Structure 1
Amino acid sequence: MELDTVAAALRESWGADTCSPEDVAAWHPGNPARGQCATTAVVMHDYFGGSLVMGEVLVNGARVDFHWWNRLPDGREVDLTIGQFGPHESVVGGTEVERPTGPTRLDAQYALLAARVKARLAESPPT
């Protein structure tokens, strides 16, 4: 599977219903990546493996959230949701973290996003 193909399917699959609950109020079609980082990173991990990376989101020097992205097996870092942040927000750090193995608060959002991506990829002609 090509990275660009999966990335496009992810972007087309984002919605308020796949957003992290604390970001739903800030999510809108003009910023579809808002609140999608954790679920997107885990779906990317499903397709490409590698590592999950977590950094801190800062506003005025104070941590307000965490941000997730991927480090692929070849060492490339892929962050499909970095565009969600405004000029007042910065992402710092980046520590590899284990993929969650038990229930999480984002299970429903992940399941929905993974299913949408799978369906979109099934509709796409092979490259």
Structure 2
Amino acid sequence: MQAFEEHLRSAWSAESSGKWSAENPASGQCSVTALVVQDLFGGEILKTETPAGSHFYNRIGGRRWDFTLSQFGRPILFDDTPSSRQEALADTTPAQYEALKARLGTSIP
């Protein structure tokens, strides 16, 4: 997963989140990332409420995977509230989702 995480970090861009910046590339990437990670690895989409709103991430094989945790300046408390693709899709756009898939070089159905 470490190689995937590095590839993912290089795939994030302003096209996959309007909050992206070179200083904080994970900013605003949580929902689109959770969707693409589920496409590739299965599992569940979870969420946690933060002062900035809902934060999305994944559980795969019983383990929490939060590839966008680095966007926060300090640790967060995880609620691990079950979420859904629909809820994560409502937090991003189809264009952002397609942009991240394309930059990752995946052909996800």
Q: What TM-score, normalized to structure 2?
A: 0.83
Query: Aligned residue for 2:29?
Result: 36
Which letter maps to 2:5?
A: A
Pick closer, same or farther for the CA change 1:91–1:108 going to 2, 3 Å.
farther
2:2 matched to 1:14? no
2:75 matched to 1:82? no
Match of 2:101 among 111, 114, 127: 114
Using the aligned pairs only, state the percent identity.
36
**Cα distance in structure 2, aligned partners of 1:91 and 1:37:** 16
For structure 1, the residue ranges without an aligned partner over 5 or more in a row are 59-63, 120-127
Query: Aligned residue for 1:97?
Result: 83
**Larger strand share, 1 or 2:** 1
Greater gyration radius: 1
**Cα distance in structure 1, aligned partners of 2:9 and 2:23:** 12
In the TM superposition, what is the alpha-carbon distance from 1:51 to its structure 2 partner?
A: 0.2
Which letter maps to 2:55?
A: H
For structure 2, the residue ranges without an aligned partner over 5 or more in a row are none
Deviations 1:7-61 (A, max 9, x none): 2221110112211x4xx2xx32111000000001111111100000011012xxx
Aligned length: 104
SS of equivalent residue, structure 2 residue 5:
helix
In the TM superposition, what is the alpha-carbon distance from 1:96 to its structure 2 partner?
A: 1.4
**Root-mean-square deviation (Å):** 2.1
